[in-house]
């Protein structure tokens, strides 16, 4: 199988857990869709209020406001004008009733009628329980909705992982002990969008608009490395083994 590299996925609906998830994994695809006159709607389940160091002295409302403003600036950079919050607590999506959340997403799918729905893969990329919940809810929603879009899971390739992460790095990034990140052969990827010299600076600018989350990493690894880290966006369609993978990830993420 050869991955689609055009970035042409039609009207898009992205279902993500926290501000910055959408830009890391799909900023280029969103820009491409906007440029083609497609409708792009981004959904964020939480406001990311827990995404600060333990010693951060700001109140929860102050941290929430920072994340809201940063996401608004990010989406403006990408040209995305439609965004919706679910309003769940950051870090608590695993405690939300699956039927409730899936029903809300299914309603959105039937309202918006997207061509493609983008979300996390079964392991949530990092094993974060909120990310894993997005995959679970969205998979249920696509199966239940009357309108049937193409469902695509964010993923990475082995080459990408070997380039940017050693075993020690992976252990620090993964949030669940014993959960191995999905790294696929190129032949297993259905969509691979590499941001070009026109899209990449805008993607980086959109990410850096979320400075509370991005700048510490940029300072650690350097801007040039960071730019290459975020260039490529990989997605795959669900496969038969995903049902078991989603169930296992849910148990590990609790």
Band (pLDDT 50/70/90 cuts) for residue 176 is low
- Res. 223: pLDDT tops 60: yes
Mean pLDDT over 23-31 rounds to 98
Mean pLDDT over 77-86 rounds to 98
Band (pLDDT 50/70/90 cuts) for residue 62 is very high
CATH code, 12-252: 3.40.50.10320
- Res. 174: pLDDT tops 60: no
C-beta atoms surrounding 199 within 10 Å: 21
Q: Contact, 221 vs 163, CB < 8 A?
A: no
Q: Rounded to an integer, what distance in angstroms lies between the CA atom of residue 185 and that of residue 206?
A: 29
- Res. 31: pLDDT tops 90: yes
Position 171 scores a pLDDT of 47
Please enumerate in sequence order all residues whose Cβ is within 8 A of that of 142, keeping only pairs 6 or more positions apart, or say none.
106, 109, 117, 148, 149, 151
| 200-217 confidence digits (pLDDT tens) | 999 999 999 999 999 999
CA torsion, ordered 132, 68, 141, 9, to nearest 10 deg: -100
| 1-16 confidence digits (pLDDT tens) | 789 999 999 999 999 9
- Res. 252: pLDDT tops 80: no
Strand pairing class (191-194; 116-120): unpaired
| 135-164 confidence digits (pLDDT tens) | 999 999 999 999 999 999 999 999 999 998
Position 180 scores a pLDDT of 74
| 95-151 confidence digits (pLDDT tens) | 999 999 999 999 999 999 999 999 999 999 999 999 999 999 999 999 999 999 999
For 47, the 3-state DSSP assignment is: coil
Position 247 scores a pLDDT of 87
The pLDDT > 70 percentage for the chain reads 93
What's the Cα-to-Cα distance from 171 to each of 163, 220, 228, rounded to whole Å?
15, 17, 21
Q: What does the domain layout of the chain look like in residue ranges?
A: 12-252
């Amino acid at each position: 199988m050869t991955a689609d590299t055009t970035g042409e996925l039609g009207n898009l609906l992205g279902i993500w857990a926290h501000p910055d998830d959408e830009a890391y994994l799909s900023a280029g695809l969103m820009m491409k869709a906007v440029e083609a006159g497609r409708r792009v709607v981004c959904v964020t389940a939480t406001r990311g209020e827990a995404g600060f160091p333990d010693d951060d002295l700001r109140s929860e409302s102050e941290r929430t406001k920072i994340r809201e403003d940063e996401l608004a600036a990010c989406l403006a950079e990408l040209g995305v004008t439609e965004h919706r919050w679910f309003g769940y607590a950051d870090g608590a999506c695993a405690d939300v009733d699956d039927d409730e959340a899936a029903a809300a997403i299914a309603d959105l799918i039937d309202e918006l009628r997207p061509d493609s729905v983008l979300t996390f893969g079964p392991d949530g990329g990092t094993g974060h329980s909120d990310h894993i919940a997005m995959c679970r809810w969205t998979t249920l929603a696509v199966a239940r909705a009357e309108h049937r879009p193409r469902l695509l899971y964010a993923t990475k390739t082995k080459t990408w992982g070997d380039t940017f992460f050693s075993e020690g790095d992976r252990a620090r990034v993964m949030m669940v002990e014993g959960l191995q990140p999905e790294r696929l052969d190129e032949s297993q990827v259905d969509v691979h969008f590499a941001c070009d010299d026109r899209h990449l600076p805008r993607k980086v600018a959109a990410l850096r608009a979320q400075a509370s989350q991005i700048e510490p990493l940029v300072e650690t690894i350097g801007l040039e490395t960071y730019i290459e880290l975020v260039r490529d966006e990989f997605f795959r369609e669900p496969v038969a083994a995903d049902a078991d993978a989603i169930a296992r990830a849910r148990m590990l993420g609790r």
